[in-house]
Amino acid sequence: MTSSRPPEEVHDRCSHCIGREHSICSAIEDCDLAILASESSKMTVPDGRSFIEEGSPAHDFFVVTGGRVKIFTLLPDGRRQITGFAEGGDFLGLAASKSYAFGAEALGTAVLCRFPHASMQRLTARFPNLEHRLRQEASRELSLLQARMTLLGRKTARERLATFLMERIRLLGAACQETPHQIELDLPMPRTDIADYLGLTIETVSRVLSAFKREGLISIRNITHITIMQFERISAIAEGLE
Amino acid sequence: MTSSRPPEEVHDRCSHCIGREHSICSAIEDCDLAILASESSKMTVPDGRSFIEEGSPAHDFFVVTGGRVKIFTLLPDGRRQITGFAEGGDFLGLAASKSYAFGAEALGTAVLCRFPHASMQRLTARFPNLEHRLRQEASRELSLLQARMTLLGRKTARERLATFLMERIRLLGAACQETPHQIELDLPMPRTDIADYLGLTIETVSRVLSAFKREGLISIRNITHITIMQFERISAIAEGLE
DNA sequence: CCCTCACCTTGACCTGGATCAAGTCTGGGG
DNA sequence: CCCCAGACTTGATCCAGGTCAAGGTGAGGG
């Protein structure tokens, strides 16, 4: 809360981190957190600011520790494909060899933990478990991308939106899984981003959401807050069963 | 060439393997090849036979050592998205946690090297370098998938086909890169597979290829063999510049 | 409290690629 | 050598989603 932080705070930074349990940092024991902290640095990125440029040399990995981030690729004429949204605990930077295969920018104010490649190398040398954790992370992401390719290549607009809603629900975690009726959802990204994520236009996103509302599948409280009214049917649409 | 092979052949299998230099097996020293061979087994898959079932428990990794393989996901109604083609030296099985996120079947007769997860675990424990190599492999694949998502979400049919041709050219390696005019290409997969790979229908694939031919960009010798006549223009179309 | 700007929704129309329906080509078997 | 089946091409038509063009809407600033 104070603006001038004592130096020991640096070494304690990781223990209070929101990413502590879910991120790759869980591969490191509490007693070694000071090492983790010394190899990384915290950075705050303002809304809309890009912090990874597609094609630029890949020097760092990132862990999102606060706020949200969007990952995307661009075509020369400006067409954009958002390949993912990242939030608390998510790891960034695996999709790169010498240079990043994607760009990234903050969606709202975002807080990141930056790990230079050299630091990560020191860490994986010291904690072999971490390397395995990174591979797991990559595998998880590869699995997700398989599904996303099927969405982009083969699903209709309705199916894409339904799948997107299911993804957001799954992201809430086991929180309110007990009541599959009436799930409150917020969509923190503008329609433009949803469209670029689903390979659609903003108008189509808007129309399909309106149609879902008309059919009583969801109710739209305001732009960012919607309520899932018929979980099962949306789930069925997402799988292409309706 | 003999049908009954002496037992020592097993331990020698890896040293003559086509995947030796390009696959993950390059992370292991020559002197340890016997260990590698003892942890893996060779298998031959006939044309069209499926050997990974999407959603089934993931027990093995595979290295393609001969022939080709297609990787895909299915929707319940049969719509299919081919997420990749694998050939000599390619690694399969990273896109899985408890179960495979994809199915796989042979495209022509394929030869595979199978590594049970338990074996891979023993190998990575013994050769820490291998774990790093697996992560690299995952990163490479993640980078490729970023580009493929842009293709599926944002490119036109012409751009998709042009990108596909560029991919096949790049796959020839530095072989005939000296003469970027008149590149011989073979497309070992049927049109159906190209369509499912690019998120199009077979008719559109056929029409676009015919259009390319009409425009003098390629010439079609027969179904599987085409010649690239104007590399630069195809490259430009692939990037969305034309 | 109202204005304004950025974002979203809705409507009218268009089009790229899908669908439906014939042909055509090719290679293997009789 | 011819026939046949499977794979590909081509043409005609259709339609989901894109494009173009008005309106809404609501949060922040004056």
State whether A94 and A143 are in the same domain.
Answer: yes
* A 136-165: CB within 7 Å of strand D: 156-158
Percent of chain B with pLDDT over 90: 82
State whether A120 and A178 are in the same domain.
Answer: no
Q: Which residue has its C-alpha nearest to nucleotide C20's C1'?
A: B203
Instruction: Give the nucleotide at minimum CA-to-C1' distance from B190.
Output: D7
State whether A197 and A147 are in the same domain.
Answer: no
Chain B within 8 Å of A134 (Cβ-Cβ)?
Answer: yes
State whether B197 and B210 are in the same domain.
Answer: yes
Q: Is position A209 within any domain?
A: yes
Q: Are B160 and B82 in contact (CB under 8 A)?
A: no
Q: What 3-state class would DSSP assign to A227?
A: strand
Provide the residue range defining the domain that includes A60: 8-151
Residue A22: pLDDT band with limits 50, 70, 90: confident
Residue B56 confidence (pLDDT): 98
Of A151, A181, A196, the one marking the end of a domain is A151
Q: Is position A211 within any domain?
A: yes
Picking from B80, B102, B150, the nearest residue to A81 by CB comes out as: B150
Residue A176: pLDDT band with limits 50, 70, 90: low
Place of tokens 């027990």: B59
Q: Is position A195 within any domain?
A: yes
Distance from CA of A147 to the nearest CA of B (A): 7
Q: Is position B2 within any domain?
A: no
Instruction: Give the nucleotide at minimum CA-to-C1' distance from A202.
Output: C8
With contacts defined as CB-CB under 8 Å, which chain B residues touch A142? 94-95, 101, 138, 141-142, 145
Chain B within 8 Å of A56 (Cβ-Cβ)?
Answer: no
With contacts defined as CB-CB under 8 Å, which chain B residues touch A75? 150, 154-155, 239-240
CA A192, C1' C7: Å apart? 9
Chain B within 8 Å of A236 (Cβ-Cβ)?
Answer: no
What does the mean pLDDT of chain A come to? 92
Give mean pLDDT, residues A122-151.
96
Span B33-91, pLDDT tens digits: 999 999 999 999 999 999 999 999 999 999 999 999 999 999 999 999 999 999 999 99
| Residue (of B204, B196, B198) closest to B166 by Cα position | B198
Picking from A97, A143, A154, the nearest residue to B95 by CB comes out as: A143
Of A122, A151, A180, the one marking the end of a domain is A151
Query: Which CATH number characterizes residue B233's domain?
Result: 1.10.10.10
Nearest residue on chain B to A132, alpha-carbon basis: B131
Cα dihedral B129/B130/B132/B133 (nearest 10): 120
What does the mean pLDDT of chain B come to? 92
Under an 8 A CB cutoff, do A73 and B148 touch? no
Residue A4 confidence (pLDDT): 47
Q: Is position B3 within any domain?
A: no
State whether A64 and A78 are in the same domain.
Answer: yes
Percent of chain A with pLDDT over 90: 83
With contacts defined as CB-CB under 8 Å, which chain A residues touch B150? 73, 75, 79, 81, 83
State whether A222 and A201 are in the same domain.
Answer: yes
Query: Which CATH number characterizes residue A20's domain?
Result: 2.60.120.10
Instruction: Give the nucleotide at minimum CA-to-C1' distance from B213.
Output: D9
Residue A17 confidence (pLDDT): 87
Q: Is position A23 within any domain?
A: yes
- Residue A170's contacts (CB-CB under 8 Å, 6 or more residues apart) are none
Give mean pLDDT, residues B10-17.
78
- Residue B83's contacts (CB-CB under 8 Å, 6 or more residues apart) are A146, A149, A150, B71, B72, B73, B102, B145, B148
State whether A145 and A160 are in the same domain.
Answer: no
Distance from CA of B13 to the nearest CA of A (A): 27
Chain A within 8 Å of B140 (Cβ-Cβ)?
Answer: yes
State whether A83 and A109 are in the same domain.
Answer: yes
CA A119, C1' C20: Å apart? 60
With contacts defined as CB-CB under 8 Å, which chain B residues touch A139? 94-97, 138
Q: Is position A1 within any domain?
A: no
State whether B184 and B84 are in the same domain.
Answer: no
Q: Residue A15: pLDDT above 90? A: no
State whether A162 and A146 are in the same domain.
Answer: no
Number of structural domains chain A divides into: 2
Q: Residue A168: pLDDT above 50? A: yes
Instruction: Provide the CB-side half-sphere exposure for B44 (13 A, CA).
Output: 2
Picking from A79, A102, A239, the nearest residue to B76 by CB comes out as: A239
Q: Is position B30 within any domain?
A: yes
User: Which DSSP string corresponds to chain B?
Assistant: --SS--THHHHHGGGG-TTTTTSGGGGS-GGGHHHHHHH-EEEEE-TT-EEE-TTSB--EEEEEEEEEEEEEEE-TTS-EEEEEEEETT-EE--SBSSBBSSEEEEEEEEEEEEEEHHHHHHHHHH-HHHHHHHHHHHHHHHHHHHHHHHHHHH--HHHHHHHHHHHHHHHTTTTTTT--SSEEEE--S-HHHHHHHHTS-HHHHHHHHHHHHHTTSEEESSSSEEEES-HHHHHHHHTT--
State whether B93 and B174 are in the same domain.
Answer: no
Of B88, B119, B151, the one marking the end of a domain is B151
Q: Are B231 and B183 in contact (CB under 8 A)?
A: yes
Residue A16 confidence (pLDDT): 85
Chain A within 8 Å of B236 (Cβ-Cβ)?
Answer: no
| Residue (of A112, A109, A146, A108) closest to B58 by Cα position | A146
State whether B131 and B73 are in the same domain.
Answer: yes
Residue B160 confidence (pLDDT): 98
